[in-house]
């Protein structure tokens, strides 16, 4: 039983939950994670950290585009019970979500917009850096170049770039009365470093298939996040 009476009581008592989510939250929706043996980072001829870098956008945009188009776009994917339960908590005014995910499934689940930080951006927000003009996802999936030759890209955090809304994310973590890490290896910074501002004594839970390495005092719940959220009462 992943949701023990004690854990349920923590959720019931908390009024300012911050949910910190990663790629494994979306794997039940058919979107691969990054670092597992079947993940996005396996089997690439060039290092994925390079293919998803700002440098690659400048010097190898065609290769970068092909990698992202082939491996990262799942426009038909739908939210699963994890996204849905988290969205319900935001609708009740009791939770906020800071996600590393760029798939917008938290948005599709009707998370309250001002209670969601897309820390690494969105694959579905397309623009041309040359003039900041937006473009449609449909156009982007046809070509990474506009008719006038301007390069298009999603508004995501490439390696070598700074994530979005760091200050706001830090403020949310500082204000939290319960922190819950779900579906992430917790290896990517500065996301993993957000916990440094948590108030002393704030409960921190991790719901993951494996143990995460972190210097912070985390109660680790090892198991399937889908099962956890199916049995969690909101």
211 in catalytic set = no
CB count in 10 Å sphere of residue 205: 19
pTM of the model: 0.94
- The confidence score (pLDDT) of residue 40 equals 64
- The confidence score (pLDDT) of residue 224 equals 95
- Give the span between the Cα atoms of 170 and 125, in whole angstroms: 24
- The confidence score (pLDDT) of residue 39 equals 54
Exposure string over 2-39, b if 16+ CB within 10 A, otherwise e: bbeeebeebbeebeebbbbbbbbbbbbbebbbbbbeeb
To 10 degrees, the CA torsion angle through 25, 118, 78, 50? Answer: -70
- The confidence score (pLDDT) of residue 35 equals 59
Q: How many CA atoms lie within 13 A of 171 on its CB side?
A: 6
- The confidence score (pLDDT) of residue 135 equals 98
Q: Which residues contact 18 (CB under 8 A, 6 or more apart)?
A: 95, 96, 97, 98, 172, 173, 175, 176, 178, 179, 180
- The confidence score (pLDDT) of residue 52 equals 95
Exposure string over 65-83, b if 16+ CB within 10 A, otherwise e: bebbeebbbeeebebbbbb
Exactly one of 106, 120, 211, 219 is catalytic; which is it? 120
- Give the span between the Cα atoms of 168 and 117, in whole angstroms: 8
Q: What is the mean pLDDT of each run of 10 residues along the chain (234 residues)?
A: 92 98 96 66 72 96 95 96 98 98 98 98 98 97 97 97 98 98 93 96 96 93 96 95
């Amino acid at each position: 039983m992943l949701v023990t009476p004690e854990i349920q009581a923590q959720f019931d008592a908390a009024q300012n939950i911050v949910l910190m989510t990663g790629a494994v939250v979306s794997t039940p929706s058919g979107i691969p994670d990054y670092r597992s043996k079947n993940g996005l980072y396996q089997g690439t001829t060039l290092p994925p950290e390079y293919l998803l870098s700002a440098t690659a956008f400048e010097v190898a945009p065609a290769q970068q585009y092909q990698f992202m188009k082939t491996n990262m776009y799942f426009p038909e994917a739908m939210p699963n019970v994890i996204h849905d339960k988290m969205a319900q908590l935001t609708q009740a005014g009791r939770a906020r979500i800071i996600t590393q995910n760029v798939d917008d499934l938290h948005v599709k689940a009707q998370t309250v917009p001002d209670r969601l930080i897309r820390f690494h951006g969105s694959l579905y927000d397309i623009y041309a850096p040359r003039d900041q003009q937006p473009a449609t996802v449909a156009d982007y999936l046809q070509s990474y170049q506009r008719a006038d030759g301007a390069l298009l890209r999603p508004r995501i955090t490439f390696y070598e770039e700074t994530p979005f809304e760091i200050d706001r994310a830090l403020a949310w973590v500082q204000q939290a009365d319960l922190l819950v890490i779900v579906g992430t290896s917790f290896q990517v910074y500065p996301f993993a470093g957000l916990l440094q501002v948590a108030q002393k004594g704030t409960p921190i839970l991790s719901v993951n298939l494996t143990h995460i390495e972190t210097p912070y005092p985390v109660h680790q719940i090892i198991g399937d996040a889908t099962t956890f959220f199916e049995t969690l009462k909101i």
